[in-house]
Amino acid sequence: MTETAALSTEKLTETLKILHDPTRLLLMKLLIEKEYCVCELVDMFEVSQPAISQHLRKYKKAGLVYEERRGQWRYYRFNETCEQHALVEKILGQLDENDEQLVKLRTKAESITC
Amino acid sequence: MTETAALSTEKLTETLKILHDPTRLLLMKLLIEKEYCVCELVDMFEVSQPAISQHLRKYKKAGLVYEERRGQWRYYRFNETCEQHALVEKILGQLDENDEQLVKLRTKAESITC
DNA sequence: GCTTTATATAACAATTTGCTTATATACTAG
DNA sequence: CTAGTATATAAGCAAATTGTTATATAAAGC
């Protein structure tokens, strides 16, 4: 299990602010499991490409994800060494694995090739 | 330790939205430990009485707190039977006990009589 | 070089948030 | 009944949020 970090009020609320949006919460649920490139995420979520990029930028700014360029693609994945690691894991661990939106996303994920 | 509940994306994000505000996060940190009446909270936090009432209303609407009238006072406390119980405990458990704002609040709490 | 593809950034609109001040409600004490 | 205290609610406002469309940037292939 993840160890517990002691976060400041500021850091803690900043992280909750990032995860409180449904799109970003589900995005993080995916990124914590494996890396994705932006175009895969755009195909999975029902929002525009700029919207996805903007969400990812927030994550990156908060130190929650890594970005890696490979060719013309940019891959994003969860930063397991971040200070908020334990918090994020605990929050996402509360999400119902059978949640309709999550299940739908995972189904889409299977059929996507970028 | 608290057991884990499976929350929907909606319920989970709703709860994060409530806790992402610094005032409300700290408010909940207090309410999870013991009950407070509104005037005690007003004295402790540096916001107006209506601001506190409005925060408490959000909590109540989300089922996170109980409200009990006794005389002219209204006492609020955490609702331990709510669906989001485990989530809230886990989030608040990540807050540094030595966090400046929290310590300051606890100090004030000691000297307040309503 | 030009074109296509992947992604980021800018600019903007609609909505939501979190406070404030002003006011209403309700209980208590005389 | 009246005055005071505790609390809620309403109205208004500035700032933040989240999406959109339009445009810029950068790599890949010809």
CB contact under 8 A, A9 and B99: yes
CA distance A30 to A43: 14
The helix/strand/coil state of B2 is coil
Instruction: Decide: CB of B90 under 7 A of nucleic strand C.
Output: no
* Residue B70 CA distance to nucleotide D4 C1' (Å): 18
Residues of B contacting chain A (CB within 8 angstroms): 4-10, 12-13, 16-17, 19-22, 25-26, 86-87, 90-91, 93-102
Domain containing B70 equals 9-104
Whether B88 contacts B19, CB under 8 Å: yes
The helix/strand/coil state of A63 is coil
CB contact under 8 A, B95 and A12: yes
A-B contacts at Cβ under 8 angstroms: 92
> Does any domain span residue A33?
yes
CB contact under 8 A, A90 and B95: no
Instruction: Decide: CB of A43 under 7 A of nucleic strand C.
Output: no
Whether A18 contacts B27, CB under 8 Å: no
> Does any domain span residue A1?
no
pLDDT in tens, A41-92: 999 999 999 999 999 999 999 999 999 999 999 999 999 999 999 999 999 9
For chain B, what is the domain count?
1
Does A2 have pLDDT greater than 80? no
> Does any domain span residue B112?
no
Picking from B34, B54, B46, B59, the residue whose alpha carbon sits closest to that of residue B108 is B46
> Does any domain span residue A16?
yes
Q: CA angle, B34 as apex, B33 and B35 as ends, to 5°? A: 145
pLDDT in tens, B72-110: 999 999 999 999 999 999 999 999 999 999 999 999 998
Calculate how close chain B gets to A11, using CA atoms only, in Å.
Answer: 9
CA distance A32 to A25: 11
> Domain holding B83: CATH number?
1.10.10.10
Instruction: Decide: CB of B13 under 7 A of nucleic strand C.
Output: no
> Does any domain span residue A101?
yes
> Does any domain span residue A67?
yes
> Does any domain span residue B2?
no
pLDDT in tens, B41-68: 999 999 999 999 999 999 999 999 999 9
